[in-house]
Amino acid sequence: MNNPLLQPWNTPFETPPFHLIEQVHFMPAVKEALKKASDEIKFITDNQDLPTFENTIATLDSSGETLGKITSILFNLNTAETNMELQAVAQEVSPLIARFSNDITLNVKLFNRIKRVFESKETSGLNTEQIILVERKFRSFMLGGAGLKRRGEKNVSGKYLKNLQLFHLNLKRMSLRRLIHLSCILWRSLILQGFLKV
């Protein structure tokens, strides 16, 4: 299947080709993008060189670009132009994204490299923008539970993140059903009162 989500966008300003994107394209594209993003993370953690801003922080910051583009389209469409089918896709994709995000945050090898760069940020000749990015990456991992000691069990934050995302999607789906129900009531009332003709 020729998936427009995985192809270069030869459009003005590389805007998404919405006229070519169908709902069946999202899940295969997300799975392919997750694999690519995982390979990009593995490239960082397998690097035998000492951690630096370029080979760790900058590389991490540019990873997952394809995944980010695809999920941005999906979740923005799910907010602005949603329907039952699109919500079902979003609900199926959301746990995959949550699991991937949690796996990155709790990747010990990756966090250790980030920590090394963070600890040497003042003596590595980094400029202000680079130091800010290092601090943001380190803080993000710490808030995600990367610095917590574990007792042989995976941090449960991923489970809560997954449940929170599913709750948010379910809330949107319930809101859509409620809106459709209220619209039907209003439409029927207008017809019965003679304001609309069918």
| CB distance 70 to 26 below 8 Å | yes
Token pair 């427009």: residue: 4
Residue 181 carries which side chain, given as an amino acid letter? H
Specify the pLDDT at position 194. 63
Closest CA to 41 of 96, 98, 101: 101
Specify the pLDDT at position 153. 46
Specify the pLDDT at position 169. 55
pLDDT tens, per residue, the chain with 198 residues:
689 999 999 999 989 999 999 999 999 999 999 999 999 999 999 999 999 999 999 999 999 999 999 999 999 998 888 888 888 898 899 889 988 988 898 899 999 999 999 999 999 999 999 999 999 999 999 988 887 765 444 544 555 555 555 555 555 555 555 655 555 666 566 556 665 555
Residue 114 has a CB neighbour count (10 Å cut-off) of 23
| CB distance 31 to 1 below 8 Å | no
Spell out the alpha helix ranges (H) of 3-107.
26-45, 59-62, 65-80, 84-105
Residue 4 has a CB neighbour count (10 Å cut-off) of 16
SS3 percent helix, strand, coil of the chain, rounded to 5, is 70, 0, 30
* Domains of the chain, each with CATH number or no CATH: 19-192 (1.10.1370.40)
* pTM of this structure: 0.75
- What distance in Å separates the CA atoms of residue 162 and residue 172, rounded to the nearest whole number? 16
132 secondary structure, DSSP code: H
Specify the pLDDT at position 152. 46
